[in-house]
């Protein structure tokens, strides 16, 4: 591997969150019954006329602005011709020669620091339908609900050099899209999908090697696995003196390998041409200004602000800002109890663990930011220990109960009353005359033993600081 370098470029398809399709008024809802959301336009009946959805244009342009791409004030829809049962028109409406946006860039964090990945273009296009192959009958079905759903395709420059960089780029892209609210980023439902182009060359070579394109890998982990497999395969080919063929491959997630789907000879000639039914897309500069004003704070800016304003480590800032809702949750909690690092720790460890376990997003979380902030404040005040805080966290997470009320009802408050603890300390010392004698003879490390006994007797509720003071006083 040492002498080789991978070259990776990604093509991402992101489904836009418009309510209706790109060229008709059919709903884009996921999960409806087969062929429920279909009309003559998206079913490709002859004689119909497509009309572009303005909202899709707005969303595509917002993404372009977020990655500093140039918006072409005029762009052209083109027909990409091919036959497949899920494409009733016999062509997909896409953009080819004059795409909507060009020359963007995305910054990613790598082991070697910040790196810029170039974005060649973003264009608008419609999705195709879906073929469903029955596992019980010898039949296939076609669902056209997805036909005409608006997508943007984001094509990167071949700027990435490892699978880690590719995944970092994808995560950043997804994060930006979701922040903007223009894509829900759901990879399982196919709202965010990616084809990876991979080649390998000897380090120092100026020219790129022959690439293979891996189709539709459906999770970050599989993108990483597929690329790593492909890099290894290319290196083996080169070492064995075999030629690498330019081809399209599919990743088999069960076997962890890529397999040839079609070679260059079978590659489609799509015969692109401008769609005669659609006028050129024109964007007014005044619209761009209006949309720019509507852009939210984006992940990279938020990350920088979290570092500067809250003094968080880069890592924490990255985790907390990957999703806008997590970032909002953090800021709301810090507003109630201004201890950013402590709040960050609770969110990144306990809260995220619970959310992962029940597979929920932070949006529906019953424990609101105020509740979490209160819990941290109660611990800071010494009323309960951090350990008890962690023990009760699961209950609070599930019930959303007010931490103060919960702690009072369960009688969990730390015993900080010297009078009450005094008796417990006496009891423990009386029960362990041997240890007391050893302590007095100089075995000072027995303090830990006494503290342990007292904690056990009080179910962990004794104020450790007070216990230390009482012990020191009594043992002289």
Q: Which of residues 11 and 354 has its CB atom nearest to ligand ADP in the complex?
A: 11
Selection from ligand ADP, Zn ion, none that 24 binds (CB < 5 to 8 A by kind) is Zn ion
**Structural tokens at position 328:** 């909002």
Q: Which is nearer to Zn ion, 41 or 312 (CB)?
A: 41
Q: To the nearest whole angstrom, how small is the minimum distance from the Cβ of residue 150 to Zn ion?
A: 12
Least CB distance from residue 216 to Zn ion, whole Å? 24
Query: Phi and psi of 93, rounded to 5°?
Result: -85, 120
- Beta carbons within 10 angstroms of residue 305's beta carbon: 16
In angstroms, give the least distance from the CB of 281 to ligand ADP.
Answer: 20
Task: Between 11 and 304, name the residue whose CB sits nearer to ligand ADP.
Answer: 11
Among residues 197 and 463, whose Cβ is nearest to ligand ADP? Answer: 197
Please say which residue, 37 or 163, places its beta carbon nearer to ligand ADP: 163
* Residue 64 touches which member of ligand ADP, Zn ion, none, C-beta under 5-8 Å by kind: none
Binding site partner of 9, from Zn ion, ligand ADP, none, Cβ cut-off 5-8 A by kind: ligand ADP
CB-CB contact of 74 with 98 (8 Å): yes
Alpha carbons within 13 angstroms on the beta-carbon side of residue 33 total 1
Nearest residue (beta carbon) to ligand ADP: 9
Which one of ligand ADP, Zn ion, none is in contact with 211 (Cβ closer than 5 to 8 A by kind)?
Answer: ligand ADP
Is the Cβ of residue 7 or residue 365 nearer to ligand ADP in the bound state?
7
Pairwise CA distance, residues 243 & 122, whole Å: 32
Nearest distance, CB of residue 192 and Zn ion, angstroms: 23
Which residues contact Zn ion (rule: CB under 5 A)?
24, 26, 39, 41-42
Cβ contact 375:389 at 8 Å: yes
Q: Which does 235 bind (CB under 5 to 8 A by kind): ligand ADP, Zn ion, none?
A: none
Burial track 159-177 (b if 16+ CB lie within 10 A, e otherwise): bbebbebbbbbbbbbbbbb
467-to-163, 417, 456 alpha-carbon distances in Å:
53, 10, 12
In contact, 340 and 361? CB cutoff 8 Å: no
157 versus 184: smaller Cβ distance to ligand ADP: 157
Shortest distance, position 54 Cβ to Zn ion, whole Å = 16
Q: How far is the CB of 272 from ligand ADP (least distance, A)?
A: 11
Cβ atoms of 260 and 247 within 8 Å: the answer is yes
155 binds, among Zn ion, ligand ADP, none (CB under 5 to 8 A by kind): ligand ADP
Distance (Å, whole) CA 342 – CA 325: 18
Cα–Cα distance, 262 to 234 (Å, whole number)? 17
H or E, element range at 151:
strand 150-156
Provide, rounded to whole angstroms, the least separation between the CB of residue 198 and ligand ADP. Answer: 6
Closer CB to ligand ADP, 166 or 425, in the complex:
166
Q: Binding partner of residue 42 among ligand ADP, Zn ion, none, CB under 5 to 8 Å per kind?
A: Zn ion
Q: How far is the CB of 25 from Zn ion (least distance, A)?
A: 7
Q: Report the SS3 class of residue 163.
A: helix
Partner interacting with residue 157 (select from Zn ion, ligand ADP, none; CB below 5-8 Å by kind): ligand ADP
By beta-carbon proximity to Zn ion, the closer residue of 24 and 176 is 24
Least distance to Zn ion, CB of residue 147, Å: 7
168 three-class SS: helix
User: With respect to Zn ion, which residue has the nearer C-beta, 41 or 76?
Assistant: 41
Residue 39 binding result from ligand ADP, Zn ion, none, given CB thresholds of 5 to 8 Å by partner type: Zn ion
Structure tokens at 248: 């399209």
Smallest Cα–Cα separation from 369: which of 323, 342, 334? 334
Q: How far apart are CA 261 and CA 2, in angstroms?
A: 30
Q: How far is the CB of 75 from Zn ion (least distance, A)?
A: 23
Could you say which of ligand ADP, Zn ion, none residue 320 binds, taking C-beta under 5 to 8 angstroms by partner kind?
none
Residue 398's CB: how many other CB atoms inside 10 A?
Answer: 12
Contact set with ligand ADP (CB under 6 A): 7-11, 155-158, 197-199, 208, 211
How crowded is residue 230: how many other Cβ atoms within 10 Å of its Cβ? 26
Q: Assign residue 459 a region (left: φ > 0; alpha: ψ between -120 and 50; beta: otherwise).
A: left
Residue 9 corresponds to which tokens in the numbers above?
């470029």
């Amino acid at each position: 591997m040492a002498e080789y370098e991978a070259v990776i470029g990604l093509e991402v398809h992101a489904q836009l969150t418009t309510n209706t399709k790109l060229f008709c008024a059919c709903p884009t809802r996921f999960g409806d019954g087969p062929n429920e959301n279909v009309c003559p336009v998206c079913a490709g009946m002859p004689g119909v006329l497509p009309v572009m959805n303005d909202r899709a244009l707005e969303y595509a342009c917002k993404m372009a602005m977020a990655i500093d791409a140039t918006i072409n004030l005029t762009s052209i829809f083109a027909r990409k011709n091919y036959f497949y049962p899920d494409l009733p028109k016999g062509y997909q409406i896409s953009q080819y020669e004059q795409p909507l946006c060009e020359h963007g860039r995305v910054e990613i964090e790598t082991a070697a620091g910040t790196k810029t990945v170039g974005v060649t273009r973003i264009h608008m296009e419609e999705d195709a339908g879906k073929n469903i192959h029955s596992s019980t009958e010898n039949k296939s079905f076609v669902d056209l609900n997805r036909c005409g759903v608006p997508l943007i395709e984001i094509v990167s420059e071949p700027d990435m050099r490892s699978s880690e960089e590719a995944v970092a780029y994808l995560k950043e892209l997804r994060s930006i899209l979701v922040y903007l609210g223009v894509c829900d980023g759901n990879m399982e439902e196919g709202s965010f999908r990616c084809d990876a182009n991979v080649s390998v060359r000897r380090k120092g070579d100026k020219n790129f090697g022959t690439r293979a394109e891996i189709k539709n890998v459906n999770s970050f982990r599989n993108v990483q696995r597929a690329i790593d497999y492909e890099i290894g395969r290319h290196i083996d080919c080169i070492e064995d003196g075999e030629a690498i063929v330019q081809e399209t491959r599919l990743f088999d997630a069960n076997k962890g390998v890529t397999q040839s789907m079609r070679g260059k000879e079978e590659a489609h000639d799509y015969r692109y041409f401008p769609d005669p039914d659609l006028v050129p897309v024109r964007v007014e500069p005044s619209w761009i200004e209006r949309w720019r004003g509507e852009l939210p704070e984006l992940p990279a800016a938020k990350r920088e602000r979290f570092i500067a304003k809250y003094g968080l480590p880069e890592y924490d800032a990255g985790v907390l800002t990957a999703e806008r809702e997590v970032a909002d949750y953090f800021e709301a909690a810090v507003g109630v109890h201004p201890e950013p690092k402590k709040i960050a720790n609770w969110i990144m460890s306990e809260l995220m663990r619970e959310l992962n376990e029940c597979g929920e997003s932070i949006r529906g979380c019953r424990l609101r930011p105020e509740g979490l902030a209160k819990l941290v404040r109660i611990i800071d005040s010494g009323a309960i220990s951090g350990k008890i805080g962690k023990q009760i966290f699961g209950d609070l997470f599930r019930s959303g109960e007010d931490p103060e009320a919960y702690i009072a009802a369960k009688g969990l408050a730390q015993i900080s009353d010297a009078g009450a603890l005094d008796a417990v300390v006496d009891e423990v010392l009386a029960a362990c005359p041997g240890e007391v004698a050893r302590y007095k003879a100089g075995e000072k490390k027995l303090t830990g033993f006494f503290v342990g006994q007292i904690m056990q007797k009080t179910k962990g509720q004794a104020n450790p600081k007070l216990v230390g003071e009482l012990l020191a006083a009594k043992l002289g």
